A and B are shown apart, each in its own frame.
Chain A
Amino acid sequence: MNWLAGFFGDPAHWSGPDGIPVRLLEHLEFSAGAFLVAALIAVPLGLLIGHTGRGALLVVVAANAARALPTLGLLVLVVLLAGVGTVLPVLIPLIVLAVPPILVNTYEGVRGVDADLRDAAYGMGLRGRQVLFQTLTPVALPLILLGLRLAAIQVVSTATVAAFVGLGGLGRFIIDGLATKTYADVVGGAVLVAALALAVQLGFVLLDRVAVSPGVRQVR
């Protein structure tokens, strides 16, 4: 507790280029950037594969790769290839981390839509694209949002690795704290990351309320 009071109570931690606001903003920038790119790749891909049934193998590969891939190892590899100091080495591992949960859940969501419902949609005279966007997507939305939420939380937690390659973000408190044995900073940084993950979780719960039709929401 003393550590927390020491970290959050110190006015020096609330201003300047290595203060909490700036680090938080940096952290959000990496995370949001990686998350958006991943979502832009994985959601359309998941929808398309789920709708057409073609390319399902890709989803299986992605799902397995996700479990096997060491994020830190990938980070080091990309740094070696791209060099230190740019933001790319951080974004790439985070994107690679975020794509599988979004892709798999979007695909499963669309695939899992009742065959009778799909049939009825075509039977009413909807065209392929209308079936996808007016029937499959809204019905699969809870799972799509679940995938996005898992990805967002992983990205926010893992973005701390940016500090390893000399970039900013909340990881700085942890890395630098460890280096200088300033444990208050380590704990403070970790708490901030956890809080951010919680905020993301909360954000998605709210999004779920707004975006998912009451007719398909699981809990009733």
Chain B
Amino acid sequence: MITFEDVTKRYRDGTVAVADLSLEVPTGAITVFVGPSGCGKTTSLRMINRMIDATSGRITLDGQDVREIDPPTLRRGIGYVIQQAGLFPHRKIVDNVATVPYLLGWSKRKARARAMDLLELVGLDPGLAGRYPFQLSGGQQQRVGVARALAADPPVLLMDEPFSAVDPIVRASLQDELLRLQSELRKTIVFVTHDIDEAVKLGDTVAVMRVGGRLAQMAGPATLLTEPADDFVREFLGRDRGIRRLSFISAKEVRLRPAPSDLATDEDGRPLGWRTANGLAAYGTFTPETDSLRAALDAALLSANGTAVAVDEEGRVRGVAGRDAIDELLAEYAPPASGGSGEGSSGDGSSEEAPA
């Protein structure tokens, strides 16, 4: 566990980047620091591995004050990934990944073998091992950056906007990859981003910061979306909070009924469309085991008759769910009555401030 206890960072020019920050980063989970530009996310992150030293307060790592540890030693035990990957241009990919093992004095053979395993782990072709960084795409370089951070198997990983320099499609795949990795590795990850969607997608816990390095709210993503602490958080979360929250509810519980005869299927049982007088009409599908309620609702909205088609992993029809079935589940997960977010998604919170 990492704890911040009344941590303040005042730069030499007087800028207070972080003020009295106290929070706990739980072990084995992803904690995201999110907030507008300049709010002190990077500063907070870099105080953990002492790339920056706090002006006052204490940061502890498993109970030990990081200030008691010599910085290079501390850093070798903490994976660090930065936005521009920061790969060593003069070293081959395999040797980039093996950087920390080399520093720790592993033999070249062992370090390289470990590096090859990691390339595979982050989904890179081992054939890239002998290349130099300039011969890789931005997305591949970021994967190498992640592999390098993981090389010595550190329990803690610090990531500062690692995916913000790549295009949205690559970013989404890197995010998915990180979640897959994390489900295997269970590292303590502190992830910095200014992108709230990324925060909500990746974070087990999301710490929303406001300018001046003050913590506005720290909560799980679903709670954050339903119960923002104040106007700042509500505004920062942006539009469609209600819909976005559905991403955190599994579609497993949606009550299915058998597929009606007007759903046309092929011989393997895959859907073809809804039979109508004018031929086959559009349909939407979701996979209850892996999809969210948001996907189920989306499928219903895509279907000509408002009924979502549930399919298994192979795409074969398992049943259907009408709006009534989806509504039923929505009601179950309705925000708490006292949650204070009864207003529309435009986020007019003024009514809450009114005295009772």
Question: Which residues of A line the B interface, CB within 8 A?
Answer: 116-117, 119-127, 130, 135, 138-139, 141, 213-216, 220
B126 touches A (CB below 8 Å): no
Q: What 8 pairs between A and B have smallest CB-CB spacing? A: A120-B86, A215-B132, A125-B76, A213-B90, A125-B75, A123-B80, A138-B90, A125-B72
Give 1 or 0 for each of B64-85: 1 = CB within 8 Å of chain A CB: 0000000111111100101111
A125, B75: Cα distance in complex, Å: 5
Given contacts A116-B84, A123-B82, contact A216 B90 (CB under 8 A): yes
Given contacts A124-B75, A125-B100, A126-B72, contact A215 B82 (CB under 8 A): no
Could you say which of B49, B85, B132 contacts A214, with CB atoms under 8 Å apart? B132
- Indicate if the CB atoms of B103 and A124 lie closer than 8 Å: yes
- Indicate if the CB atoms of A125 and B133 lie closer than 8 Å: no
Interchain residue pairs with CB less than 8 A apart (11):
A116-B82, A120-B80, A120-B85, A120-B86, A123-B51, A125-B72, A125-B74, A126-B103, A135-B88, A213-B91, A215-B133
A139, B148: Cα distance in complex, Å: 19
CB distance from A136 to the nearest CB of B (A): 10
Given contacts A122-B51, A123-B86, A126-B72, contact A215 B99 (CB under 8 A): no
B134 touches A (CB below 8 Å): yes
- Indicate if the CB atoms of B82 and A213 lie closer than 8 Å: no
Residues of B within 8 A of A141 (CB): 90
Could you say which of A117, A119, A138, A220 contacts B51, with CB atoms under 8 Å apart? A119
Could you say which of A117, A125, A126 contacts B89, with CB atoms under 8 Å apart? A117
B92 touches A (CB below 8 Å): yes
Given contacts A119-B51, A123-B49, A124-B100, contact A215 B76 (CB under 8 A): no
CB distance from B113 to the nearest CB of A (A): 19
Residues of A within 8 A of B86 (CB): 116-117, 119-121, 123
* Chain A, interface SS category: helix
Residues of B within 8 A of A116 (CB): 82-84, 86
- Indicate if the CB atoms of A215 and B100 lie closer than 8 Å: no
Residues of A within 8 A of B85 (CB): 120
In this complex, what residue of A is CB-closest to B82? A120
- Indicate if the CB atoms of B148 and A124 lie closer than 8 Å: yes
| Given A123-B49, A125-B103, 19 other A-B residues pairs in contact with their CB atoms under 8 A | A116-B82, A117-B88, A117-B89, A119-B86, A122-B75, A123-B75, A124-B75, A124-B103, A124-B148, A125-B71, A125-B72, A125-B100, A126-B103, A135-B88, A139-B90, A141-B90, A215-B88, A216-B90, A220-B134
Given contacts A119-B82, A123-B75, A126-B103, contact A216 B49 (CB under 8 A): no
Give 1 or 0 for each of B178-215: 1 = CB within 8 Å of chain A CB: 00000000000000000000000000000000000000
Question: Which residues of B line the A interface, CB within 8 A?
Answer: 49, 51, 71-77, 80, 82-92, 99-100, 103, 132-134, 148
A124, B86: Cα distance in complex, Å: 10
CB distance from A216 to the nearest CB of B (A): 5
In this complex, what residue of B is CB-closest to A118? B86
CB distance from B8 to the nearest CB of A (A): 22
A119, B88: Cα distance in complex, Å: 11
Residues of A within 8 A of B51 (CB): 119, 122-123
In this complex, what residue of A is CB-closest to B85? A120
A125, B79: Cα distance in complex, Å: 10
A191, B284: Cα distance in complex, Å: 84
CB distance from A53 to the nearest CB of B (A): 15
A127, B133: Cα distance in complex, Å: 23
CB distance from B94 to the nearest CB of A (A): 12
Residues of A within 8 A of B132 (CB): 213-215
Residues of A within 8 A of B84 (CB): 116
A122, B49: Cα distance in complex, Å: 10
Given contacts A213-B132, A215-B133, contact A124 B80 (CB under 8 A): yes
Could you say which of A123, A127, A215, A220 contacts B91, with CB atoms under 8 Å apart? A215
CB distance from B340 to the nearest CB of A (A): 41
Residues of B within 8 A of A121 (CB): 86, 88
Residues of A within 8 A of B73 (CB): 125
In this complex, what residue of B is CB-closest to A140? B90
Which of B74, B83, B87 has most chain A Cβ within 10 Å?
B87
- Indicate if the CB atoms of B72 and A216 lie closer than 8 Å: no
In this complex, what residue of B is CB-closest to A134? B88
A213, B96: Cα distance in complex, Å: 13
In this complex, what residue of B is CB-closest to A124? B99
Residues of B within 8 A of A125 (CB): 71-77, 100, 103
A216, B80: Cα distance in complex, Å: 23
Residues of A within 8 A of B80 (CB): 120, 123-124
Residues of B within 8 A of A216 (CB): 89-90
In this complex, what residue of B is CB-closest to A113? B89
- Indicate if the CB atoms of A139 and B103 lie closer than 8 Å: no
Residues of A within 8 A of B100 (CB): 124-125
In this complex, what residue of B is CB-closest to A135? B88
A120, B148: Cα distance in complex, Å: 11
A60, B77: Cα distance in complex, Å: 41
A141, B90: Cα distance in complex, Å: 10
CB distance from B96 to the nearest CB of A (A): 10
CB distance from B161 to the nearest CB of A (A): 12
A138, B80: Cα distance in complex, Å: 22
A57, B72: Cα distance in complex, Å: 30
A143, B138: Cα distance in complex, Å: 26
